[in-house]
Structure 1
Amino acid sequence: MRVFVTGGAGFIGSHTLVQLMRKGADVLSYDNYCNSSPEALSRVKRLAQSDLAIVEGDICDPGALERAMGDFKPDAVIHFAGLKAVGESAEKPLTYYKNNIAGSIALLEVMNKIGCSKIVFSSSATVYDPDKPFPFTEDTPLKAASTYGRTKHFIEDIIRDWSAATPGSSAAVLRYFNPVGAHASGDIGEDPVGIPNNLLPYISRVAQGSLKELQVFGDCYDTADGTGARDYIHVEDLAGAHLAALEYIAGAKGCETFNIGTGTATTVLAMIRAFEAATEQSVPYRITGPRAGDVSTTVANPSKAEQVLGWKAEHDIEAMCRSVWNWQVRNPNGYRTPE
């Protein structure tokens, strides 16, 4: 299978590339590196012991997309590319709407032009109404609490409408819960530009000493210890879900949605304790006010993915913490060369 991967150099994209290439897929990574590094792709090739096509480009550039996809002629697309910081999306809503939604429309239009009708889309659990009972199923009502989540919700609807209007098309929408972890080798991992927006990269940098302390946003939520609770999933499990989704859409028609999580929620303070236990490192923290767009708890009911895709998460919280610390120790500056 020939697979066109947008955002291939990113955190989830790079881990998925390794698994795809090890399965023998022909892959093209299309990325503008706004929140990633070309170095990740060099390491992907080394880990997979295989080569891949690489094009630097923006999903909001239809001409560049058409040239790359027209030359490559993919059988399917995995669409990771997009801006993803909840807090930033509240500050820059137009940037998020323009990049995420307009870029996805451009991608679908080019897919139509070149005759590619199969796509796996990287969505998010932030599309769900946080006031509804959890664990969330795929039928839980949607009401995103952030601009970022709304972009994902809109793109889901666009893909669903595109699929209904495109004969022979097949789409899998994967609603991620909270991806964490790193490759067992420690060669690829999460490397956000600037101050991390996600919990475990921030924790690991505090443990390393490059950040003073962790800010815990709120301790008055309706959870075991008052801090926000999330369904954390190891990135290697998440990458495996994409391979299962690709296999599914190869023989399916229409658009289906799948929760990709573990079914278990872990609070921020519990994650700090788990990280300290797994790594024997201290993580200083300070409680601050809640962050705009954050919710109390998100946790998946992932049974549909297990029943339909034959996929199930395998890594626990301890494995997630160990792999993150291994990545951090081996790459204290991420993919960047120390100054």
Structure 2
Amino acid sequence: MMDLTMLEMIDNRLANFFPQPEFYDVSPFSIENLRDCIIMFILKDAYYLTEPKQSLRENRGTDADDVRMRDSRSIAYAQHYRDLQYNHVKNDLGIEIPELLSEDVETMRGKLRGHNITPMQYFELNTLAYHPLLKAIVNKRICDVKKVSNVTFLEYMQDYDKLVKLLLKKLDGSDEDVIFGTIALFTLEWKYNVELFYSCAVNAEKVGVQDVPIHRLAGLCAELSIPLAPYFTQMLHTESRFVLHRLKLVPAIYNASESDWDEVKDKICHYQTARYYIEREIVRKWDMAGFFARYTTREQWAQFFREHYDLRQIFATKEWNNKRIRYMRSIYSAMIKDQPTP
């Protein structure tokens, strides 16, 4: 079991936020699920802290010209969007995230040192290089049937599903495999929303809906601005990242009455607000990611993922038809931000 004192701090703070948990422990997910989400974020950060950085050459295991050039293109492409994200967060939210900025590889010292990244970062670069669906989502080509035909759409999705299956196999492997597979799957679904949007397409088809309920869906995957209690004079800017549990809410997006959806929306706001204060008052103040990195074991992390954050349940075998493909295009068109391409 991971350090009880640190986890008890989170539990006690949650108890202060939710003195009547019976009102929250009903669908779609409970306070305990919220706690697991918070711990997931901490362990993910702890993993990034402890992963060794190494050169691109060491990560790829070869110095072949074609692979080296591919890595250079992938880094330049990914950094373009990281720069856009840095400027957006700085200009719109007033927050600077220096780790989004590129490494210095222009000066002589920087050139000698080169790019140093972790295996997980290298994996994320390779997903863009090798899996065309992801790039088509980021640049919104996926939205246009003239740019990505239905046949090509299906090819992209089949390729993506193969990637997911390889990562899902890791969840049955060693502790390191479980940790890597869980964080990689989490990141893929958080960034690209394939499973969430597919579930939306299926539910929209069931009820005969063609429009995208943008405001409801935004609560599950978009940047949110929430007034903070108790005075409501400050806005919380956050992203909804309840990746493991949010698919349970998809039927309500399409079936719930306005009053029922207001209850769901309030619950999401309460959960996001609680997470914000816990991250500010406990996770960051006490450097819980650093604490977990130093004083807990990889075996404990893997055990937590196996018992509390098994992502197998969100990945579905997909059955495509023209309606579902068309609806997926509509969702990506509505929910993905327009950005200049490299």
Task: Choose between structure 1 and 2 for higher RCO, CA contacts under 8 A separated by at least 6 residues.
Answer: 2
Structure showing the higher helix proportion among its residues: 2
When normalised by structure 2's length, the TM-score is 0.28
CA radius of gyration, larger in: 2
Structure showing the higher strand proportion among its residues: 1
When normalised by structure 1's length, the TM-score is 0.29
